[in-house]
Amino acid sequence: MRYPFQVIKEWQIPLTPLPKTYPATAAFLELMVTLDELFDEFPAVLRLPEGTALTLLYRDVVYSDQDILNSVGGLACHISETCSLTFYGTTEHRETAEMTVRPGSSPKKGRVLTRSLSGRPIRRLQGLGVRLDLGDRDAADHLTVMARALAASGGPWGVVSRQHEAFVHKCGLLQPTQGSLFSYFAWENARPQQLLTALTAEHKALLWESFLADGQQPLEFAWLWEIYYTDQTRWLLEWELALDMVLDQLSFQVNRDTNSFCLLDGTGRERRFDFTRGGPAEKLFLKLLFPLDTR
């Protein structure tokens, strides 16, 4: 903040140290997931395009500083060894307070510092901002994309475009998904069905576009087809709506009569698909065009 703060309190807390090899970026994302669970709320992820910092903003939360320390104190201390991490909130006196957790007098202790404009004691805070400054614009860009992916998925896994894959790998969170259109990340090995839940409607539209415009059948379609006839299939409507959008975007036409159908692409050329011998994208495409099913 841009005004001088006064110290409210400084003290040390016991911590379980994390491995030195655990990347601060992965720890920050874990901190976010932990706070999501604590508050049952997903944050807005704020960042200026040219900046080196990003901020998680939890708008509708009320808490004490001890709530934060109990849930993410160890992660915050670990991150602060290599990056600048600060928590912000509004006190009952309607002023902004900040808290930092840095390494203490021993590896199993963290030094907590709280400050505000007046220096008055804090009982509770409203709203939470968690600001991380990586000191690197590219790293901040990649991490912002990953944080927003977590907020969109609502789970401890996320999906990003392939351009972020090297950074995800550096975080130690990359899931092995050779042949997929997107890159996926999680802290533990996630099942394909779980990774599918991280896809947004926009991701699904890009998958359909890769199939209809480029003739590709990425791995995601195989994952979905594998569970199509099970109760694990979720959000088929979203897949269908995404398909409709792409058909319109590419100017495809579907002409049907009682006994046959014809699919024309944007150039007027007839496109043919084979449900029996075709790949998973073809099967799903035809199933969504003709959803009546006896199974």
pLDDT in tens, 117-135: 999 999 999 999 999 999 9
Q: Name the band, by pLDDT with cuts 50, 70 and 90, for residue 293.
A: low
How confident is the model at residue 268, as a pLDDT?
86
CB 142 within 8 A of CB 149: no
How confident is the model at residue 258, as a pLDDT?
67
**What would the two tokens of residue 283 be?**
């099967």
Q: Identify any residues that bridge with 174 across adjacent strands, giving them in sequence order.
A: 185
More confident residue, 182 or 275: 182
How confident is the model at residue 63, as a pLDDT?
97
Q: Name the band, by pLDDT with cuts 50, 70 and 90, for residue 146.
A: very high
Q: Is pLDDT above 60 for 16?
A: yes
Q: Is pLDDT above 60 for 294?
A: no
How confident is the model at residue 255, as a pLDDT?
81
Q: Is pLDDT above 80 for 292?
A: no
Q: Is pLDDT above 90 for 64?
A: yes
Secondary structure of the chain in HEC code, one letter for each residue: CCCCCEEEEEEEEECCCCCCCCCHHHHHHHHHHHHHHHHCCCCEEECCCCCCEEEEEEEEEEECHHHHHHHHHHHHHHHHCCCEEEEEEEECCCCEEEEEEEECCCCCEEEEEEEECCCCCCCCEEEEEEEEECCCHHHHHHHHHHHHHHHHHCCCEEEECHHHHHHHHHCCCECCCCCCCCEEEECCCCCHHHHHCCCCHHHHHHHHHHHHCCCCCCHHHHHHHHCCCCCCCCCHHHHHHHHHHHHHHCCCEEEECCCCEEEECCCCCEECCCCCCCCHHHHHHHHHHCCCCCC
How confident is the model at residue 265, as a pLDDT?
87
* Mean pLDDT in residue range 161-174: 97
CB 254 within 8 A of CB 261: yes
How confident is the model at residue 275, as a pLDDT?
87
Query: Where along the chain do its domains lie?
Result: 6-136, 139-196, 201-289
* Mean pLDDT in residue range 20-31: 97
CA distance 126 to 60: 7
Q: Name the band, by pLDDT with cuts 50, 70 and 90, for residue 204.
A: very high
Is the pTM higher than 0.85? The answer reads yes
CA atoms within 13 A on the CB side of 259: 0
How confident is the model at residue 295, as a pLDDT?
57
CA distance 149 to 157: 8
How confident is the model at residue 150, as a pLDDT?
95
Main-chain phi, psi angles of 261, to 5 degrees: -145, 160
Main-chain phi, psi angles of 90, to 5 degrees: -100, 125
Q: Name the band, by pLDDT with cuts 50, 70 and 90, for residue 1.
A: low
Q: Is pLDDT above 70 for 53?
A: yes
More confident residue, 202 or 273: 202
Average pLDDT across the chain, whole number: 93
**What would the two tokens of residue 73 be?**
């104190």
* Mean pLDDT in residue range 93-118: 95
Please report, rounded to a whole number, the percentage of residues in the chain having pLDDT higher than 90: 80
CB 288 within 8 A of CB 228: no
